[in-house]
């Protein structure tokens, strides 16, 4: 694999490349095949959220004028009331710490909805580069996201901790079923990188 370069995609370019982006998602997350059409619909909806920003890590094109293969991607947007994830997380934070606590994290938040790197490209700094670039220069005060809560030392949990994100709550079952999630948050700009400390 040649060195991938980061490229920002606007909403239209993101939608045009949704199929290869979904293939990266499928390779990284290995969801049941029948969940992919629904994921496609959700990602297409996300692209219309306010201040949407998407980045891909793209390998050099093999043919002139063609797009290169996508090794990883990250996208997010401004969180607002009326968005499903935002409202669910807001309610849980409010339940745990009251409305001020929920507002502190969610009232002016950049929500990172997806970050995935193809398995054969993992462990080479692409995930960190994508996350850092997505959060760079954002106007929001906080960054919030959810990630699988099966292993507190997973690459994703360690990556997020290394730039200052902490657990807002863990073991959370989003409505509709599925595995437990940790919701994590941090201040923007991201903290300077520190090697991930253990969570225990
Ligand atoms: C999580 C993910 C995006 C990280 O991308 P990546 O390109 O592999 O990560 P990087 O090489 O940039 O490493 C960044 C940090 O992640 C952590 N990390 C990466 N690989 C790791 C591993 N195998 N074990 C433990 N920590 C690891 C480390 O903290 C690392 O920082 P360090 O190298 O300074 O120790 C990628 O592993 C992935 O797509 N995983 C599957 C899907 C997923 O979990 N997505 C996140 C959903 S919220």
DSSP letters for 73-92: EEEEEE--TTSHHHHHHHHH
| Contact in structure between 147 and 165 (CB atoms under 8 Å) | no
* Closest to 56 measured CA to CA, from 111, 134, 151: 134
Averaged pLDDT for residues 23-40:
96
Q: Find the range with the poorest average confidence among 17-21, 61-65, 104-108, 143-147.
A: 61-65
Extents of the domains making up the chain: 5-187
> Ligand 1 center to residue 52 CA distance, Å?
23
Residue 108 alpha carbon to ligand 1 centre in Å: 26
pLDDT band of 65, cuts 50, 70, 90: confident
The yes-or-no verdict on residue 2 having pLDDT over 80 is no
Instruction: Round the average pLDDT of the chain to a whole number and report it.
Output: 95
Q: Which atom of ligand 1 is nearest to the CA of 116?
A: 39
Q: Which fold has domain 5-187?
A: Aminopeptidase (3.40.630)
Confidence check: pLDDT of 111 > 90:
yes
Residue 126 pLDDT > 60, yes or no? yes
Q: 176-195 pLDDT, tens per residue?
A: 988 999 999 999 999 887 77
Pick from 6, 120, 123 the residue to mutate for probing ligand 1's pocket: most ligand atoms within 8 Å of its CB: 123
Q: Is the pLDDT of residue 11 over 60?
A: yes
User: Taking residues 45-49, what's their average pLDDT?
Assistant: 98
> What one-character DSSP code corresponds to residue 119?
G
* Structure confidence by residue, pLDDT tens digits, 77-88: 999 999 999 999
CA distances from 26 to 32, 72, 180, 196 (A): 9, 11, 19, 26
Q: Is residue 1 within 8 Å of residue 121, measured between CB atoms? A: yes
Q: How confident is the model at residue 198 (pLDDT cuts 50, 70, 90)?
A: low
The ligand 1 site (C-beta within 6 Å) comprises 28-29, 115-117, 122-128, 147, 155-156, 158-159, 162, 195-196
Ligand 1 atom with the shortest distance to the CA of 112: 48
Q: Is the confidence at residue 196, as pLDDT, over 90?
A: no
What is the pLDDT, as a whole number, of residue 194?
78
Confidence (pLDDT) at 92: 98
- Spatial separation of the C-alpha atoms in residues 22 and 37, rounded to whole Å: 9
The active-site residue, picked from 25, 75, 90, 160, is 160
pLDDT at residue 197, rounded to an integer: 65
Rounded to an integer, the average pLDDT of 4-23 is 97
Q: Is 160 a catalytic residue?
A: yes
């Amino acid at each position: 694999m040649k060195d991938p370069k980061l490229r920002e995609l606007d909403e239209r370019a993101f939608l045009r490349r949704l199929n290869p982006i979904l293939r990266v998602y499928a390779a990284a997350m290995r969801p049941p095949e029948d969940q992919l059409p629904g994921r496609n619909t959700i990602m297409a909806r996300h692209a219309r959220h306010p201040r949407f920003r998407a980045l891909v890590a793209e390998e050099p094109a093999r043919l002139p004028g063609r797009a290169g293969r996508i090794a990883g991607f990250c996208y997010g947007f401004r969180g607002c009331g009326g968005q499903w994830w935002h409202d669910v997380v807001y309610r849980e934070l409010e339940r745990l710490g009251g409305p001020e606590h929920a507002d502190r994290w969610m009232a002016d938040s950049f929500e990172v909805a997806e970050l995935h790197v193809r398995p054969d490209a993992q462990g080479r700094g692409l995930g960190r580069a994508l996350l850092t670039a997505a959060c760079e220069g954002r106007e929001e005060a906080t960054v919030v996201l959810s990630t699988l809560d099966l292993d507190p030392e997973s690459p994703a949990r360690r990556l997020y901790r290394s730039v200052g994100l902490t657990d807002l709550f863990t073991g959370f079952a989003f409505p509709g079923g599925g595995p437990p999630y940790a919701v994590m948050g941090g201040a923007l700009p991201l903290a300077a990188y520190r090697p991930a400390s253990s969570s225990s």
